[in-house]
Amino acid sequence: MTPPPSTALTTAPLATPDLDITLTKTKTLVNSAGGCGCSSNTDIDELSESMRARIEKHPCYSEDAHHHYARMHVAVAPACNIQCNYCNRKYDCANESRPGVVSELLTPEEAAHKVLVVAGKIPQMTVLGIAGPGDPLANPEQTFRTFELIAEQAPDIKLCLSTNGLMLPEYVDRIKALKVDHVTITINMVDPEIGVKIYPWVHYRRKRYRGLEGVKILHERQMEGLQALKEADILCKVNSVMIPGINDEHLPEVNQAIRERGAFLHNIMPLISAPEHGTYFGLNGQRGPSPQELKQVQDNCAGNLKLMRHCRQCRADAVGLLGEDRSQEFTKQKFMEMPVDYSVAQRQAVHIGIEQAKAAVTAKRQAAVRRPTTTQPSPKVLVAIATKGGGLVNQHFGHAKEFMIYEVDATAAKFVSHRKVADYCQGGYGEEAMLNGIITTISDCQAVFASKVGPCPQRELEKAGLVVIEAYDVIESVARQFYDEHVLNRR
Ligand code: CLF
Ligand code: SF4
């Protein structure tokens, strides 16, 4: 997603949105305050107050929060103790990162300085995660020293950790003592026979185990670690990389197993695989899933356990809102020269502003809630939304580097995924190819919502059968009006 103007994330809270709606491409409008609209898709509505407080500012654990709050990673953990067939050691850990991305390695002291610098410049940054570039728990001293320094110097920042789980049982007590409240384990299988197709070896207690023997150790340690987190009351998210033909049909079983052991959230991510990444899978032609295949498996796993669908497979040095990448503003050369301007009071003032903006959006959503009037389900349609965050349709079509996909029916609009695209505005060169790529990427959608769409792309989108809506409003309200106008009224 195109980064917002620097002030949007640096100094001021997100502005309370202008709630007047402008739908210039629809012919008749429905007053969104007049009893129509979607139910909120806020994922934390049904949680207890205490649980809500634990996740409401964590952009990965709360879909709602990721519109408003940012996270950052520090790359302090270079080594790894297993081999995944989708990983090339030249790059960051692919369990939480896109393959082909390399981060600058930091010492714990450099990492702590970077966190304080970013915390001052991006007060919306609420979570510090360690996710690589190898496995954080294969580098325990660097990882825990970094957490210690940040806990001492920036106590209002939540600490977060991502691991393959092999060494987790050893460290749950230390994680708890440091008040790390969010831990991710990447669990791709609960059947070692499937695991041998993903992991060629595991290095455990000074010995390398190959094949089934190694995978059984990894599986047992992952399950033990998950249960230990539950007993320690640490929130656990499980990441699973979906690998078509290997574990796609197995993932509902993984979902069931982690649910039984107390996982809080399940994040099923697509394998990203290409020969140039130099991974075993990439070199052997193993493909990743299509967005439709991913959604199907996610839908098959949807049940009591919450599913994360908004993961962006970040870099091990990611900075900013999910979906924007500000890591290049904070390279080592740059941040080491930046002064620290960290103030809890200033950060809290910004958070209060965000919460006020969020409350305005939530009120708009709730005013638009519609109860089902019939037991007959209404048709579900997908729509693609250009957004800079805040829960709003607020981005120019030509600036979108990704679209949020919502599934809309007569009562609700539900976020289901995001899809990356090459941004259309390239100064003329290659725009036609870009537009064709965007149209292909969102070809299963019925509409595009954006704050502005140029006449040429609008013509091409409409030619491809998409309804084009220009609006600046809460996503669910625009979705409701689109659905009433273009789906219900045309049945
Ligand atoms: Fe980072 Fe991971 Fe913590 Fe989030 S990321 S360590 S839980 S703070 Fe988030 Fe990025 Fe997806 Fe990870 S979007 S790759 S799930
Ligand atoms: Fe690579 Fe991460 Fe797997 Fe280690 S755990 S092999 S760093 S993807």
Alpha carbon nearest to ligand 1 atom 1, residue: 129
> From ligand 1's centre to the CA of 226, what distance in Å?
17
Residue 308 alpha carbon, nearest atom of ligand 1: 15
> Which ligand sits nearest to residue 79's alpha carbon?
2
Q: Which pair of structure tokens corresponds to residue 325?
A: 């990448």
Amino acid residing at 146: T
CB atoms within 10 A of CB 99: 23
Ranges of residues in the chain whose predicted pLDDT is under 50 = 1-44
Distance CA 175, CA 135 (A): 15
Alpha carbon nearest to ligand 1 atom 13, residue: 311
**Which residue, among 92, 96, 105, 98, has the nearest Cα to 133 in the 3D structure?**
92
> From ligand 1's centre to the CA of 115, what distance in Å?
16
Residues flanking ligand 2, CB < 6 Å = 80, 82-84, 87, 93-95, 134-135, 164
Q: What is the pLDDT of residues 406-441, one digit of tens each?
A: 999 988 888 998 898 876 665 555 577 788 889 999
Residues carrying CATH 3.20.20.70, the chain: 69-337
Alpha helices by DSSP H, listed for 413-454, are 431-441
Residues flanking ligand 1, CB < 6 Å = 60, 71, 73, 96, 127, 129, 131, 160, 162, 182, 184, 237, 267, 311-314, 322
The CATH code that applies to domain 9-17+359-490 is: 3.30.420.130
In this predicted structure, what is the pLDDT of residue 491?
A: 63
In this predicted structure, what is the pLDDT of residue 161?
A: 97
CB atoms within 10 A of CB 201: 16
Alpha carbon nearest to ligand 2 atom 4, residue: 80
The CA-based angle 382-383-389, given to 5 degrees, is 130
Q: Which residues pair with 186 in a beta bridge?
A: 239
> From ligand 1's centre to the CA of 107, what distance in Å?
21
> Which ligand sits nearest to residue 103's alpha carbon?
2
Contact status, residue 37 vs residue 369, Cβ threshold 8 Å: yes
> Residue with structure tokens 């230990």?
228
Task: Give the containing element (helix H, strand E) for 419.
Answer: strand 413-420
Q: Nearest 5°: phi and psi at 197?
A: -80, -10
In this predicted structure, what is the pLDDT of residue 389?
A: 83
> From ligand 2's centre to the CA of 83, what distance in Å?
6
In this predicted structure, what is the pLDDT of residue 132?
A: 85
DSSP-assigned letters across all residues of 365-392: HHHT----SSSSPPPPEEEEE---STTE
> Is the whole model's pTM more than 0.85, yes or no?
no
Alpha carbon nearest to ligand 2 atom 3, residue: 84
Distance CA 466, CA 68 (A): 29
Class of the CATH-defined domain 69-337: alpha beta
Describe the strand order of the beta sheet including 306-308 as a list of residue ranges.
Answer: 306-308, 265-270, 235-242, 182-186, 158-163, 125-130, 70-73, 319-320
Residue 164 alpha carbon, nearest atom of ligand 2: 5
Contact status, residue 461 vs residue 439, Cβ threshold 8 Å: yes
Q: CA distances (Å), 107 to each of 92, 140, 180, 216, 261, in order?
A: 16, 13, 20, 33, 35
Amino acid residing at 277: H
Distance CA 338, CA 240 (A): 37
Q: Which residues pair with 385 in a beta bridge?
A: 404, 449
Residues carrying CATH 3.30.420.130, the chain: 9-17+359-490
Alpha carbon nearest to ligand 1 atom 10, residue: 314
